[in-house]
Amino acid sequence: MALRYYYNSETCKYEPSVVSPSKFVKKVFNFIGISLFIGICGLGYYNYMYPLVDEVNLRKENKKLKAEWQVIHSELKKTSDHLAEIEKNDDSNYRVILSMDPLSASQREAGVGGHEKASAEIDIPLIGSAMDFASKIESRLNVETQSMSELKDQWAENQKQWSARPAIQPISNKELIHLYLAFGERFLPQDGYSRQHNGLDFVAPYGSPIYATGDGVVSYASGGTTYGNVVFVNHGYSFETRYAHMSKFIVTVGQLVKRGQVLGYVGNTGHSFGNHLHYEVRYQNNFVNPINFFQRDLNNKEYEKLISHAIDSPISLD
């Protein structure tokens, strides 16, 4: 190795320059480091400026994939918006009509985020966010599906309840001669005293059909001295109807009957003065005025005809 000299101002002589081993090693490493840095930068610049064919294709593919994911995102957004419309209709219309409470925000969000862990494991932002979006939509759909199922059940229950409720006249207007509006305490001329009259009296020709006023089960069908031939129908939901003084009944205890089904025929049996149907409605074991259970279901013409036959009567026929 060639010696190097330096001028020593203290001794006023040229003296040999001695480099320590550690300084020598440090200089070598510095040289290698700088060379590597320059080499890597040069290689990167070269690759960028002159990419390989595969890399060009990969870049194109990547650009295309990004565009496709944007389309998926856009479609997911549309799905989410449609779902929001259905949720709004559910809460504002369907549930209101069926007297059900709208779902709370916490119920709507139940389960949202259940797939967060799975999507968090995907560290590609576009795919990860699309997965999150899709997971949230799926959770909302599950809640909405459950809600629709509840609506369907409630609708079926309401239908059943409305079918069971006494809601029509037990005697058709075609046969009706007079309707004695005689609910409450009434005078009975034949007996010469007043007593509680718990129903309405429909005067109609002997043998006119008597109809069940709602769906139910025949709970009693028998003959007696007071009601005569009588049928009781249990409608459920605390409703019962009674049809008295029939000439005959054609149903049996335990039989299911539908609204409008013939139970028997008008007669004059039991404690009765003239062919008529004595009709009672009981709700929660109390007698209620039957007029409130068919009047609203008549159209204008039917109602006018009913009124023309109705007599606000101080007396009753039984």
Minimum CB separation of residue 197 from Zn ion in Å reads: 6
Q: Which stretch binds Zn ion (CB under 5 A): 5-13, 143-151, 277-285, 303-311?
A: 277-285
| CA torsion, ordered 304, 309, 312, 314, to nearest 10 deg | 180
What CA–CA distance (Å, rounded) separates 142 from 116? 16
Contact between 318 and Zn ion (CB under 5 A)? yes
User: Are 167 and 294 within 8 A, CB to CB?
Assistant: yes
Looking at the Cβ atoms of 209 and 228, the one nearer to Zn ion is 228
| CB closest to Zn ion, residue no | 278
Looking at the Cβ atoms of 201 and 240, the one nearer to Zn ion is 201
Q: How many residues bind Zn ion (CB under 5 A)?
A: 4
Interface with Zn ion in residues 212-231 (CB under 5 A): none
What CA–CA distance (Å, rounded) separates 157 from 168? 20
Minimum CB separation of residue 212 from Zn ion in Å reads: 18
What CA–CA distance (Å, rounded) separates 219 from 242? 10
Looking at the Cβ atoms of 119 and 290, the one nearer to Zn ion is 290
What b/e sequence results for 282-304 when a residue is b if at least 16 CB atoms lie within 10 Å of its CB, and e otherwise? Answer: bbeeebbebeebbeeebeeeeee
Contact between 278 and Zn ion (CB under 5 A)? yes
Contact between 280 and Zn ion (CB under 5 A)? no
Contact between 186 and Zn ion (CB under 5 A)? no
Query: Which H helix or E strand runs over 83?
Result: helix 53-89
Strand ranges inside the chain, DSSP E: 4-8, 13-17, 178-180, 184-188, 193-197, 200-203, 209-211, 216-222, 229-236, 239-249, 256-257, 262-266, 276-283, 286-288, 310-311
Q: Coil, strand or helix: which one is 69?
A: helix
Looking at the Cβ atoms of 215 and 318, the one nearer to Zn ion is 318
The interface mask with Zn ion, positions 50-79, x = CB under 5 A, is ------------------------------
Cα 161 from chain centre = 18
Looking at the Cβ atoms of 242 and 278, the one nearer to Zn ion is 278
Looking at the Cβ atoms of 135 and 213, the one nearer to Zn ion is 213
The interface mask with Zn ion, positions 297-316, x = CB under 5 A, is -------------------x
Q: Which stretch binds Zn ion (CB under 5 A): 5-13, 58-66, 100-108, 194-202?
A: 194-202
**Residue 148 neighbours by CB distance under 10 Å:** 13
Looking at the Cβ atoms of 113 and 314, the one nearer to Zn ion is 314
Residues that bind Zn ion (CB under 5 A): 201, 278, 316, 318
